[in-house]
Amino acid sequence: MHVLVTGAAGFIGSHLVEALLGRGETVSALDAFDDYYARSLKDANVAAYGRDRVARFFEMDLAGDDLAPVVDGVDAIVHLAAVPGVRGSWGQQFHRYLANNVLATQRLLEAAKEAGTELFVYGSSASAYGDGAVEAVDETYLPQPHSPYGATKLAAEHLVHLYGRVHGMAVTSLRIFSCYGPRERPDKAIQKFLVAARDGTPIEIYGDGSQRRDFTYVGDIVAGVVAALDKPPLGEVVNLARGATHTMREVLEAMEAVTGNPLDVTFGARQAGDVRVTSAVIDKARDLLGYAPSVDLGDGIARQWEAVRSAAHSQ
Ligand SMILES: NC(=O)c1ccc[n+]([C@@H]2O[C@H](COP(=O)([O-])OP(=O)(O)OC[C@H]3O[C@@H](n4cnc5c(N)ncnc54)[C@H](O)[C@@H]3O)[C@@H](O)[C@H]2O)c1
């Protein structure tokens, strides 16, 4: 299978490329190396799988460049490119989210339609669901995003399924929940806190630490994405999560246990766009994909801690 991975210099995308190459698939990789975080980290992500091991590497902007050569000869697309992060999506930066999350997806769908690409897998987000639910949500829960970022991820998801219904494209969306692990984005909580633990700097928690997340190890997310390539649940939206939640306070306890260091923590204001709970029912993924996440928070943090300690340039 020849798979195009967008966002291939990013956190999840680089792990996916590595897994696909490990299975012997042909991979085309695409990334714009946007400046949401440092280029050096994205170069290191690419180096982790080896730029020369992919069939083609496109340093391109999905929102503006000609995508016909990119989709040429590709059997399946996994679309992970996006500008992430809820907090930055308010205010003047929204145009970036619109271009890179919505317009980019529409342009890639058009190119895939023209090329007759067999399968389009979209990396959607738990942010589509919003802030209403206190218990675990399944895919029938009414999405009501709580941030402009979530609104763009949901808008792109609607576009994906619109192309599926109207143009007969084979599509599926995977709603990814709080993914963490080695190479996690530098703006995400676990990565920030582990770097602070390593460097002995203070940690600021947004809110009182009672917010709960369905933290999911990146290897489990990647296994779910690969399963969606192997037996695509066509037209379906599927949660990918651990299926268990932890509060931020529990995360800090797990980090102290792993690092052996007491952490210097302060609690600040809750941030606009942050939700109180993300929690997923993952029965659909188990049934349709044979998905079986296996990495508990403590094990996942231990693996990420090793990566943070060995990365000379980690932020
Ligand atoms: N990390 C998570 O916890 C999480 C949770 C839910 C959903 N997701 C989704 O998973 C995907 C990957 O997230 P991540 O955490 O790996 O983020 P990331 O920022 O590390 O990776 C995204 C990559 O997309 C690239 N990109 C952005 N706009 C582009 C464009 N117009 N053209 C080409 N490339 C572009 C960026 O340069 C970046 O390398 C995103 O779609 C995100 O919305 C992530």
**Taking the alpha carbons of 50, 3, 155, 146 in that order, is the dihedral positive or negative?**
negative
Residue 16 lies in a domain: yes
Residue 194 lies in a domain: no
CA of 73 to the centre of ligand 1 (A): 24
What is the pTM for the complete model shown? 0.97
Q: Tell which one of 127, 179, 184 to mutate to probe ligand 1, the residue whose CB is within 8 A of the most ligand atoms.
A: 179
Residue-number span of the structural domain to which 137 is assigned:
2-182+215-244+279-294
CA dist., res. 232 & res. 119, Å (int): 8
One-character DSSP codes across 114-161 = HHT-SEEEEEEEGGGTBS--SS-B-TTSPPB-SSHHHHHHHHHHHHHH
Q: Tell which one of 5, 12, 214 to mutate to probe ligand 1, the residue whose CB is within 8 A of the most ligand atoms.
A: 12
Q: Tell which one of 5, 17, 31 to mutate to probe ligand 1, the residue whose CB is within 8 A of the most ligand atoms.
A: 31
Residue 159 lies in a domain: yes
- Split into its structural domains, the chain has a count of 1
Please indicate whether residue 149 is annotated as part of the active site.
yes
Nearest Cα neighbor of 155 from 110, 111, 99, 114 is 99
Nearest Cα neighbor of 181 from 170, 173, 171, 189 is 189
Q: pLDDT for 110-169, tens place per residue? A: 999 999 999 999 999 999 999 988 889 999 999 999 999 999 999 999 999 999 999 999
CA dist., res. 288 & res. 270, Å (int): 37
Q: Give the percent of the chain with pLDDT over 90.
A: 93
Q: Please report which residue ranges of the chain form alpha helices under DSSP H.
A: 11-22, 39-49, 68-71, 94-97, 104-115, 148-167, 189-199, 218-230, 248-259, 283-289, 297-310
Which residues form the pocket of ligand 1, taking CB atoms under 6 Å from any ligand atom? 6-7, 9-13, 30-34, 36, 42, 61-63, 80-84, 100, 104, 123, 125-126, 153, 176, 178-179, 185
Does an H or E element contain 6, and which?
strand 2-6
Atom in ligand 1 nearest the alpha carbon of residue 176: 6
In three-state secondary structure terms, 70 is helix
CA of 249 to the centre of ligand 1 (A): 27
Residue 78 lies in a domain: yes
Residue 189 lies in a domain: no
Q: pLDDT for 24-40, tens place per residue? A: 999 999 999 999 999 99
Q: In CATH, what number is assigned to the domain containing residue 135?
A: 3.40.50.720
* Cα angle: 168, vertex 140, 150; to 5 degrees: 80
Residue 307 lies in a domain: no
Q: What is the pLDDT along the chain (315 residues), one digit of tens a residue?
A: 999 999 999 999 999 999 999 999 999 999 999 999 999 999 999 999 999 999 999 999 999 999 999 999 999 999 999 999 999 999 999 999 999 999 999 999 999 999 999 999 999 999 999 998 888 999 999 999 999 999 999 999 999 999 999 999 999 999 999 999 999 999 999 999 999 999 999 999 999 999 999 999 999 999 999 999 999 999 999 999 999 999 999 999 999 999 998 899 999 998 888 889 999 999 999 999 999 999 999 999 999 999 999 985 444
Catalytic entry in 49, 97, 149, 163: 149
Q: How many helices (H) and strands (E) does the chain have?
A: 11, 13
Residue 63 lies in a domain: yes
Atom in ligand 1 nearest the alpha carbon of residue 62: 32
Residue 310 lies in a domain: no
CA of 101 to the centre of ligand 1 (A): 9
Distance of alpha carbon 107 from the chain centroid: 20
Question: Residue 275 has what pLDDT?
Answer: 87
Question: Residue 315 has what pLDDT?
Answer: 46
CA of 105 to the centre of ligand 1 (A): 12
